[in-house]
Amino acid sequence: MKRILLKLSGEALAGEKKSGFDEETVRGVALQVKQIVGNTQVGIVIGGGNFWRGRSSENIDRTKADQIGMLATVMNCIYVSEIFRSVGMDTEILTPFVCGSFTSLFSKDRANEYFQQGRIVFFAGGTGHPYFSTDTGVVLRAVETEADVILLAKAVDGVYDDDPRLNPAAKKYDEVSIHEVIAKNLQVVDMTASILARDNRMPMWVFGLGEKDSIVNTVNGRFTGTKVTV
């Protein structure tokens, strides 16, 4: 794989604390990415769930809640980017809206330039619009930058036919088509993101971030999660 887009959930980066950051977890991710960055160009999208899940509140306008969520992803990317730098990697953060001097404004040309320089490129701020999740953001950026595959690092180790945390008998898929994901609403990513992936033939590999060396193993062909094919 020449270029990957790695999606990290904010909750996964919070570790057992469930909110904020667990620095050892983030550092572990950074050390894994450092092992692959020489041969693979890496883009990263991070969710904001460790800081904000505003849709659960009925007292905040949906547009404003989503804007807070976008800023949560910017905070996540600034923090994680600095941990990456602390272990010896060069990073850049791109956003679809101006954040002063904190980030650079996204463009495909700018992202490709950073990739060619061997930098880790963080795509923060989602799509820049309300009503779209970071799921849609990661598929959009993967399509725009012509990534080979999206790697979805989650708390669950793959795609199941039911929630394995609630149903111990849930069946794990080794491989499933995006058409089946949509038809059965398997919720690998949200429906908008699923349709965007289908229409642009963008494969997704789902695996558990908590498994030892999961990112390195996935990139090097020792994959134990679920491949979502197109």
DSSP 196-216: HHHHTT--EEEEETTSTTHHH
Distance between start and end Cα atoms, the chain: 16
Cα atoms in the Cβ-side hemisphere of radius 13 Å centred on 149: 17
Q: In the predicted model, what is the mean pLDDT of residues 204-230?
A: 92
Please determine, for residue 33, whether its predicted confidence score (pLDDT) is greater than 70: yes
pLDDT tens track for 148-180: 999 999 888 899 998 888 898 999 999 999 999
Lowest-pLDDT choice from 10-19, 96-105, 187-196: 10-19
CA distances (Å), 180 to each of 79, 167, 177, in order? 36, 20, 5
The amino acid at 119: R
pLDDT reading at 54 higher than 70: no
In tens, the pLDDT along 115-156 reads 999 999 999 999 999 999 999 999 999 999 999 999 999 888
State the pairing for strand pair 149-154/172-173. Answer: unpaired
Q: Distance (Å, rounded) from C-alpha 130 to C-alpha 204?
A: 24
Dist CA 50 CA 72 (whole Å): 8
Question: Is the confidence at residue 55, as pLDDT, over 70?
Answer: no
> Rounded CA gap, 101 and 42, in Å?
23
| Mean pLDDT for the stretch of residues 24-46 | 94
pLDDT at res. 195: 97
- Of the chain, the percentage scoring pLDDT greater than 90 comes to 74
Task: Please give the pLDDT value at position 155.
Answer: 81
User: Can you say how many angstroms the Cα of residue 218 is from the centroid of all Cα atoms in its chain?
Assistant: 15
Q: What is the pLDDT of residue 221?
A: 86
Whether the per-residue pLDDT at 94 is higher than 90: the answer is: yes
| Lowest mean per-residue pLDDT among 5-9, 15-19, 79-83 | 15-19
What is the pLDDT of the chain when averaged over all its residues?
92
Task: Give residue 95's pLDDT band: very low, low, confident or very high (50, 70, 90).
Answer: very high
- pLDDT recorded at residue 78: 96
β-strands 91-95, 149-154 pairing: unpaired
- pLDDT, one tens digit per residue, over 65-93 is 999 999 999 999 999 999 999 999 999 99
E strands in the chain: 3-8, 41-46, 91-95, 104-105, 120-123, 149-154, 159-160, 172-173, 175-177, 204-208, 226-229
Q: Looking at residue 63, what is its pLDDT? A: 92
pLDDT at 111: 97
